[in-house]
Amino acid sequence: MLRCARQGMKIYNISSPGDHLSAYPQTIQLDDIANIIAEKFKDQTAITCYIGSNAATPTAAIEALTRALKSRSPVLPFLKMVHLLLQGPVPYVEEGLQDRVMAYSIFSGGAVRNAANKGLAFYLPCTLANIEGLIDRGRKYQPEVVIMKVSRHSHTGEFSLGLSVEALHTAIDHASVVIAELDPSMPFTHGQSMVDAASIDYLVEEGIQPVYDFPAPDFDDLPPAERRIGALITEYFIQDGVTLQVGIGKIPDAVVGTIRDAQPKNLGIQTELYGDGLMLLQKSGIVTNRKKSANMGYSTTSLIMGSRELYDYAHMRSGVQMRPSSYTNAAKTIQANCPFVSVNTAIGVDLFGNVWADFIDPRRYYGGVGGQPDFIRAIQEPGVGTPVIAMKSLTSKGESKIVPTSPPGVSLTASAYDGFVLVTEYGIADLRGLTLGNKALAIANVAHPKFREQFLRKIYDDPLVTKPFDFSPDKTPYGVTPYRGDVPLNDD
């Protein structure tokens, strides 16, 4: 049998249940989800649901469950919804439902971000490496219910978590009800994405919505500031045989574009999120994974998100394998693949070397810490690798992203005691091993020129910041490598 997710959309063959498996989950309809939960937990006042995330967000199941919550039919226990980034509509965060359901979001965007900033959803700070500590047996957020997507192998009948593994295996192991949408639009991925049929209680095959895909970046037409940042990172830190973790966004895209042009050899990939850029490097032969000590021969990731081309590439490909985020982001695994280069971005950095990425200010929550602290702290030891925080020097409003002190009350994704490298379009500030005074001078020197002088003056005038004995405003500080390329900026 062949089922189609949406007319004109690439699908993957799904054989009928009896072809390969003697044990098969019970097939249900979307509207049955609420009835099953209501009956199973009729004696409980509250339960925790763990929801699959990112490109594999089970939107149809979320909407069906929200309809039941709104109508109060059937009567459900209070639902604590624990999840990472959810794509698409998330109607249960609408105002007026908080007496029946509450989001506990580890990473947010869109509707959940807006709800959290209005007090209608909880932000649950946690790095990706540590999610299992939140939901493990006996922990505060151990789930009773899991709702997710799966794909099915056309020949063997096996199930795969496809695009999202993160902490789903731990959630499945501890939940008493596991509900999966069987999605023919989701690729079948290899590695620890496999889930046995006996671990799935109920399967929804009709009325589901396809996985989320996004236009691929244009790696040939990058903005000048991002191109300069990418060129600096590639020139100074990308050497043959390094293992990469690179996020998604214009700056990571620029890093990928400049790596492609530089053509280093035998790179490896171990990342929390595999996107179009990493696929580009792997398809071009720059990534071979031959030099990795852990998982030699294939890229490892916890999540895949990007274009339809990316999903087609990942489908049935043994060279891209899924692992839980507790593995991809574990210090032991990261350190095994040294030399390692990690590239992440931030909302702001202060002159002490504090970094924040989950809040714009104490009153404006943005997303979450993700895995940034995991990688920074794993590879700051000498000889292990280079943790890079890459960001433009200015916000879209022309304000400096480098500030004298971090906003009071904002949580930090890296602190002054973390050794990392800051890269802006004006240069590199290698902060590893620098004193407070040297660190402040280095950070100020990669700020935008219209703010740089006032930062240097502040450092010079502050008696609590011990300056190096040979300090001079016109001398390049320790750890700083200015940009010397030929890419002009619009504001130069």
Asked whether the beta carbons of 134 and 128 are under 8 A apart, the reply is: no
Number of helices (H), then strands (E), in the chain:
14, 27
275 CB burial (10 A radius; 0-12, 13-18, 19+):
buried
Least confident of 34-43, 144-153, 237-246, 376-385: 376-385
280 CB burial (10 A radius; 0-12, 13-18, 19+):
buried
The span from the CA of 233 to the CA of 228, in Å, is 9
The fold of the 17-204 domain, in CATH, is: Glutaconate Coenzyme A-transferase (3.40.1080)
Average pLDDT in the 473-477 region?
A: 83
Of 286, 265, 232, 143, residue with least CA distance to 446: 232
Mean pLDDT, the chain, whole residue set: 93
pLDDT (0 to 100) of residue 64: 98
Count Cα atoms within 13 angstroms, Cβ side, for 119: 1
Pinpoint the residues of the chain covered by CATH 3.40.1080.20: 224-482
Q: Token pair for residue 204?
A: 């929804």
Pinpoint the residues of the chain covered by CATH 3.40.1080.10: 17-204
Average pLDDT in the 397-419 region?
A: 93
pLDDT (0 to 100) of residue 147: 98
4, pLDDT greater than 50: no
Asked whether the beta carbons of 352 and 440 are under 8 A apart, the reply is: yes
Average pLDDT in the 328-346 region?
A: 96
Asked whether the beta carbons of 273 and 301 are under 8 A apart, the reply is: yes
Confidence of residue 5 (pLDDT cuts 50, 70, 90): very low
The length of the chain, given as a count of residues: 492
425, pLDDT greater than 60: yes
pLDDT (0 to 100) of residue 468: 83
Least confident of 64-73, 114-123, 150-159, 355-364: 355-364
CATH of segment(s) 224-482: 3.40.1080.20
154, pLDDT greater than 90: no
Whole-number percent of the chain with pLDDT over 70? 95
Confidence of residue 12 (pLDDT cuts 50, 70, 90): low
pTM here? Answer: 0.93
Confidence of residue 10 (pLDDT cuts 50, 70, 90): low
- Select which of 205, 226, 272, 425 is catalytic: 272
19, pLDDT greater than 70: no
> Is 272 an annotated catalytic residue?
yes
